[in-house]
Amino acid sequence: MNLKKVLSKGLIATLVLAGSLMAGFQAITWANGNSGLTIFSGVDRKDILDYYLQFGGRPNQWERYKLYIPAKKMTQGASTFFISYPDYFNGRFDTDKVEVRVGRESLPLKEVIWDQESRVLEISLAKPIEASTRVELVLSNVRNPDFGTYYLVGDVLAAGDIPVRLYLGTWIVSIDPGS
Write down the pTM of the prediction: 0.78
The CATH number of the domain where 50 resides is what?
2.60.40.3490
Instruction: Report d(CA 8, CA 40) in Å as an integer.
Output: 40
Instruction: Confirm whether 18 is domain-assigned.
Output: no
pLDDT of residue 45: 85
For residue 70, count other CB atoms closer than 10 A to its CB.
14
Instruction: Confirm whether 6 is domain-assigned.
Output: no
* Count of alpha carbons within 13 angstroms of residue 23, beta-carbon side: 6
Instruction: Confirm whether 5 is domain-assigned.
Output: no
Instruction: Confirm whether 17 is domain-assigned.
Output: no
Determine which helix (DSSP H) or strand (DSSP E) holds 93, and give its type and residue range.
none
pLDDT of residue 20: 46
pLDDT of residue 16: 43
Contact indicator for 54, 136 with CB cutoff of 8 Å: no
Instruction: Report d(CA 179, CA 64) in Å as an integer.
Output: 15
Is 140 strand, coil or helix? strand
Is 76 strand, coil or helix? coil
Instruction: Report d(CA 57, CA 179) in Å as an integer.
Output: 7
For residue 114, count other CB atoms closer than 10 A to its CB.
16
Instruction: Confirm whether 4 is domain-assigned.
Output: no
The segments of the chain whose pLDDT lies below 50 read: 6-7, 11, 13-31, 36-40
pLDDT of residue 23: 43
Instruction: Confirm whether 159 is domain-assigned.
Output: yes
